[in-house]
């Protein structure tokens, strides 16, 4: 529903603006050009996305996710007190975080839901999120994937000299914005009960 409203508002703004600016001809051809470009864009992104999804599947089958989950034990125990003694809970949280890190799109969401559900059940609250649930969802809404493949594919489709040269900038930005999210969570959990 939100998307439908967004689309209608966008089209309304474009039509009103074009009428006042005298750009109706450009706007009309823009509508068709955009639709045409969407399919072209998808086709030119397809190769990179398929290749990367293949590599991700290789990572999954070779057990890299479990390796990563082991490395994540310490930071997860620090952020989620409930997981310090409960090995299987910590495993669930680690699985969701490492799936996000590796960009396992299809697997990451169900794993995040599983970890959030378990944390929520442990808290014993009816509908209100516990501190740990909040922290997990904040982490899930920060993009922590190491290789942003879709964006690299989009850059490649537009003829970027080196589609991956944005990686260091993406990593610094991700690490700092996740840190800000975690700090905001730690500060807010005291005042927002």
Partner 1 sequence: MFWQLITPLLIFGVVSYALLRGVDVFGALIAGARDGLNVLLRIVPALVPLLAAITMLRASGFLDAFSEFSRPAFQWLGIPPECAPLLIVRPFSGSGALAVGVELMVSHGVDSLVGRTAAVMLGSTETTFYAVSVICGAAGVTKTRFIIPAALIADLFGFIMAAAAVRWFFT
Interacting positions 10-29 with partner 1 (CB under 8 A): 10-11, 13-15, 17-18, 21, 23-24, 26-27, 29
Question: Please, which of residues 30-59 interact with partner 1 by CB under 8 A?
Answer: 30-35, 37-39, 41-42, 45-46, 49-59
Q: How far is the CB of 106 from partner 1 (least distance, A)?
A: 7
Helix, coil or strand: residue 13? helix
Q: How far is the CB of 92 from partner 1 (least distance, A)?
A: 12
159 is a site residue for partner 1 (CB under 8 A): yes
Size of the site for partner 1 (CB under 8 A): 100
- Alpha-carbon gap, residue 79 to 188, rounded angstroms: 14
Q: Which two tokens stand for residue 26?
A: 């450009």
DSSP per-residue string spanning 53-113: HHHHHHHHHTTHHHHHHHHTHHHHHHH-GGGTT-HHHHHHHHHHHHHHHHT-HHHHHHHHH
Tokens 């509908």 belong to which residue?
127
Q: How far is the CB of 94 from partner 1 (least distance, A)?
A: 16
Question: Please, which of residues 71-100 interact with partner 1 by CB under 8 A?
Answer: none
């Amino acid at each position: 529903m939100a998307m439908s409203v967004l689309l209608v508002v966008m089209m309304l703004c474009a039509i009103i603006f074009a009428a006042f600016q005298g750009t109706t001809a450009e706007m009309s051809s823009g509508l068709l050009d955009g639709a045409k470009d969407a399919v072209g864009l998808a086709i030119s992104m397809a190769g990179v996305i398929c290749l990367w999804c293949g590599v991700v599947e290789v990572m999954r089958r070779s057990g890299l996710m479990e390796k990563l989950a082991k490395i994540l034990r310490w930071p997860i125990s620090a952020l989620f007190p409930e997981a310090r003694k409960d090995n299987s809970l910590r495993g669930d949280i680690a699985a969701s975080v490492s799936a996000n890190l590796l960009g396992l799109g299809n697997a990451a969401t169900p794993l995040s839901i599983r970890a959030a559900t378990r944390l929520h059940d442990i808290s014993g609250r009816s509908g209100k999120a516990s501190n740990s649930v909040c922290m997990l969802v904040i982490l899930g809404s920060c993009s922590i994937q190491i290789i942003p493949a879709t964006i690299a594919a989009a850059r490649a489709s537009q003829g970027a000299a080196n589609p991956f040269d944005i990686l260091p900038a993406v990593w610094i930005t991700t690490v700092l914005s996740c840190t800000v999210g975690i700090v905001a969570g730690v500060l807010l959990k005291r005042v927002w009960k």
